[in-house]
A and B are shown apart, each in its own frame.
Chain A
Amino acid sequence: MTETFYDVMRRQGITRRSFLKFCSLTAASLGLAPSFAPKIAHAMETKPRIPVLWLHGLECTCCSESFIRSGHPLAKDVILSMLSLDYDDTIMAAAGHNAEAIVTEIVEKYKGNYILAVEGNPPLAEDGMYCIIGGKPFVEQLKYAAESCKAIISWGSCASWGCVQAAKPNPTRATPVHKVPGLANKPIIKVPGCPPIAEVMTAVVAYLLTFDKLPTLDRQGRPQMFYSQRIHDKCYRRPHFDAGQFVEHWDDEAARQGHCLYKMGCKGPTTYNACSTVRWNEGVSFPIQSGHGCIGCSEDGFWDKGSFYERLTDINQFGIEANADAVGGTAAALVGAGIAAHAGLTALNRAKQPGAEKQ
């Protein structure tokens, strides 16, 4: 019964030639040397296929939508055939109790040997009643599946950070996967983005399945190979930033010339993702290339950082819409007024003391 990845691929009608192409492509996209392509091929020919259980919590399915549109159809086909999509409530054939039984079946059959991919996150308020799957709160299904998995992939900003449903005031207490209390202590790979880039998703799965270990993660748990640089660092409009050429209005000449969108609130300088290198839709474009600033969708709490069109973050603690300049400027003005008042009082006080001038 131990099918290898290669067996599965051949059964799905993928030729050996395509298979080898995929191995080279994966090696390249993971930034590995050409010598790794045969190693990937060897691993896939010999290792038993690891099933991936893909759960959905509070989410919008944009991760799935992105994933199935992976730029290289080849990669997509191969990866999809590697995934056991027996349970993925968006695209699975089964329904109702039969579908729910599949989760139990995989957990029992592959104990400790399957990957748990989570799209979306569980709401914790009211015992998790804001997200019910098969009559039970999603948080219970998540904990159950996490108990005997090998590793967890947090797909997208929902699972990684919380995203829109966890934005203030977060009435349902939507909680990212790594913060769910009582969740089994398993390695978690965060693949943030709303949605994450398709090629990034497939590469992460390919890495996990072929090397049987986690890719190198940064301190925040994201694969370093895709999240170690900011959009800004590799943006093709960066020369305009350095030159001091900015779009000031959406319809000005600079906008037509494709100058830097920094002044329009582009979050490229504070966002870690691979959009400016990998791009989207088979490398066609990415938001900045389309003339709109980055909104920072792969960053923690990006919904709560104020307008997408302002550089400075809103500081909500002050009750009104305020940013660092408003708060700081007001403070400086108050201090200045205080100084003026104090100086006035001092002068007045001195004037009242007749002996003071002698000193």
Chain B
Amino acid sequence: MTELTSAASTAPIYVYEKPVRLWHSLNALLIVVLSVTGYLIADPLASLKGEASEHFLMGYIRFVHFSAGYLLSIALLFRLYWAYAGNEHARQIFLPPLLKTHYWQGVFHEVLWYLFLVKEPRKYIGHNPLAILAMHFVFVWGVLFMIVTGFALYGEGAGQGRWQHTFFSSWVLPLFGSSQSLHSWHHLFMWLIICFVLVHIYVALREDRLSRQSMLSTIVTGWRTFKDDRPVDDESGA
């Protein structure tokens, strides 16, 4: 890492391994599916005519939502394992270096960059410090919140004695006071994640054009390329 930093070259670096990239695309797909189906569960489509036995629309929508929720959870579990098994960049969004001054200086610089107050952003191999902050606190914890509340809601229907109820509903429901409040929080956090996605896509597009390293191509290939040959500012070991 330190050698790389001092090498200060424009040579591409392999940052995001295949499982990380796969997780990213899967999450993108699942979040769209979960948001659409989740919204339709709270606010269903126009009523269907005819006999109840002829339709199963809500049933299918809920099935898709639950399946996608399971996939999201399993994917997160796998990703947590990969944070341990993968390279150093794989744990960046799970373990932000919150106690390091250099990191916070980086955050501050990035904020100034977005406020048009500095001419140039810093150069990073991994995520920039502000991105790490947002991904950790909004995305990772947001998704974890959705998984926990989601399983708690699922456990309500699954019933007592099922593991979803034992491990989630049994303590989450009393925590939120009522099922109604739990539904509201689950719904609100969907909007939080939608806001995150909007900002995430915008800054990725913007950084791709204006930052000093590659963005969109890195999502696909995992290789980071650089636009200048000055040293990178990554927190060593971050």
Q: Chain A residues in contact with chain B, CB under 8 A?
A: 219-220, 224, 228-230, 233, 239-248, 253-254, 259, 262-263, 267, 269-272, 296, 299-302, 305, 311-313, 315, 323-325, 327-329, 331-332, 335-336, 339, 342-343, 345-346, 349-350, 359
Contact = CB atoms under 8 A, between A and B. Distances in A.
B48 interface: yes
Contact of A296 (B180, B184, B188): B180
Interface residues of B, number: 48
A349 B184 CA distance: 41
Contacts of B182: 270
B171 A343 contact: no
Interface string B167-211: 000110110011111111001101110110011001000100010
Given A244-B56, A248-B47, 19 more contacts: A233-B157, A239-B52, A242-B52, A243-B52, A243-B58, A244-B45, A269-B183, A270-B183, A271-B179, A301-B177, A311-B42, A312-B42, A313-B184, A315-B184, A315-B188, A324-B191, A325-B191, A328-B191, A349-B116
Interface string B4-31: 0000000000000000000000000000
Interface of B: 42-49, 52-59, 61, 114, 116, 156-157, 159-160, 170-171, 173-174, 177-184, 187-188, 190-192, 194-195, 198-199, 202, 206, 210, 227
B194 A270 contact: no
A244 B46 CA distance: 8
A245 B52 contact: yes
A328 B188 CA distance: 6
Contact of A259 (B47, B181, B191): B47
Contacts of A346: 116, 206, 210
Where chain B touches its partner, the secondary structure class is helix
A342 B114 contact: yes
A219 B116 contact: no
A228 B179 CA distance: 12
Given A332-B191, A339-B199, A339-B202, A220 B57 contact: no
Contacts of A267: 180
B63 to A, nearest CB: 10
Contact of A243 (B55, B173, B192): B55
A324 B47 contact: no
B230 to A, nearest CB: 13
Given A243-B52, A305-B180, A328-B188, A342 B47 contact: no
Nearest to A336: B198
A249 to B, nearest CB: 10
Contacts of A262: 44
Nearest to A338: B199
